Amino acid sequence: MIRLAFIGCGGRGTGAASQALSTAGPVKLVAMADLFADRIETSLGHLLKNEAIRGKIDVPPERRFTGFDAYRKAIECGVDMVILTTVPHFRPLHYAAAVAAGKHVYMEKPVAVDGPGVRAVMAANEEARKKKLAVAVGFQRRHQDSCRGCIQQIRDGQIGQVRMIRSYYLMGGIVSGRSKTPEQTEMEYQIRNWLYFTWLSGDHFVEQAVHAVDVGNWVADACPIKAHGLGGRQVRNGPGTGQIFDHGVVEYEFANGCRHLVFARQIPGCFTQVNLFALGTKGEISVGGGLVELGRGNQKAGNAYQMQHDRLFAAIHAGQPFFEGDYAATSAMSAIMGRMALYSGKEVTWDAALNSKVSLSPAKYALDADPPVMPDKDGKYPVAVPGNTVAW
């Protein structure tokens, strides 16, 4: 029996918990944790509506934990595995605690929002390997059969040496920003509106376009050595829009001269596309679709989210290795390097980004404490200005 603790009870986390409970073999959800009680109750209600997994849920009120220390209480409930799906900012802290306690881990991407966070994840990875823990990370494309097939075609040399990768993560509006209510502290407001604050989400380039960055690294079979880019805020100007950009383009360069262009946008009413193309000396391939001249969509995609959990839990039941922590850390670092290039307008190297001492963490974790950024008298938050901003 694999006993689960579910930490971070939002929509993606609820989906991950459902997928974990839908795997083969004995598994039971026994603890839930979130900063806010209402999130736990909403998530638990959704899970219990699913008749197929209802019998695998045993989370009485005494194992529903709230507050900034809730993750520790859930980890200490005699569980075997934890699902870490909180706001991205907290991932390094929670991952390190889970590994220290000897727990298997499923965690969502991105695994950090700044250089110190990535370094903490890398240190926890080393400990997790020593303890032979299974670690999975929410880059579900790595489990999509069509993507795997395309990567194998690239490895087999069917398009020759990869010289250029271009990715598109062009979306409409994702979620509407929320205005602060009178009863909320500034800390609570920002955490509940987390997507729009860099210290919590890493910016949408880190929180969402990291998928494209990750697949690009997978194609290149390497980490980029430097990046530059341009971006800004075109429509995120009113109340509830925080401080993150709504569009950006980053060019990554790898040691062998290959380039990766990542186009990311979250603006309603615009052209949308989510795809990645790799151009080699012999041809071009759409990763997940197939060789361009053969057309796209010629392979059954399946449910990559469920396939990842199926493989993870099968490995745990069988006592076999399963470890995705390394590329999770380097892909997060690559995306953070891209955000640093967008915000600063400068070229940023891998070493400078990874070794940055700039932490986006608050001085204190408490609902009545000040978060790292505060609004001015007009309710506006500090926004990066390329050419002037450095410490991002």
The full set of domain ranges for the chain reads 2-141+306-324, 145-300+331-354
CB proximity list for 259: less than 8 A, separation 6 or greater: 163, 164, 165, 251, 252, 253
Fold (topology level) of 2-141+306-324: Rossmann fold (3.40.50)
pLDDT band at residue 173, thresholds of 50, 70 and 90?
confident
pTM (global) more than 0.75: yes
Within 10 angstroms of residue 152's Cβ, the number of other Cβ atoms is 10
Q: What is the pLDDT of residue 390?
A: 79
Beta-ladder partners of 166 = 261, 277
Q: What was the pLDDT predicted at 295?
A: 30
- With bands split at pLDDT 50, 70 and 90, how would you rate the model's confidence at 298? very low
For residue 110, whether the previous peptide bond is cis, meaning omega lies within 30 degrees of 0, is: yes
On average, the pLDDT of the chain sits at 94
Q: What is the pLDDT of residue 299?
A: 36
In the predicted structure, residue 296 carries a pLDDT above the cut 50: no
Q: Which CATH number fits domain 145-300+331-354: 3.40.710.10, 3.40.1440.60, 3.30.360.10, 3.40.190.10?
A: 3.30.360.10
- The pLDDT of 91-96, averaged and rounded, is 98
Q: What are phi and psi of 248, to 5 degrees?
A: -175, 155
Percent of the chain with pLDDT over 90: 90
At residue 376, what are phi and psi to the nearest 5 degrees? -85, -170
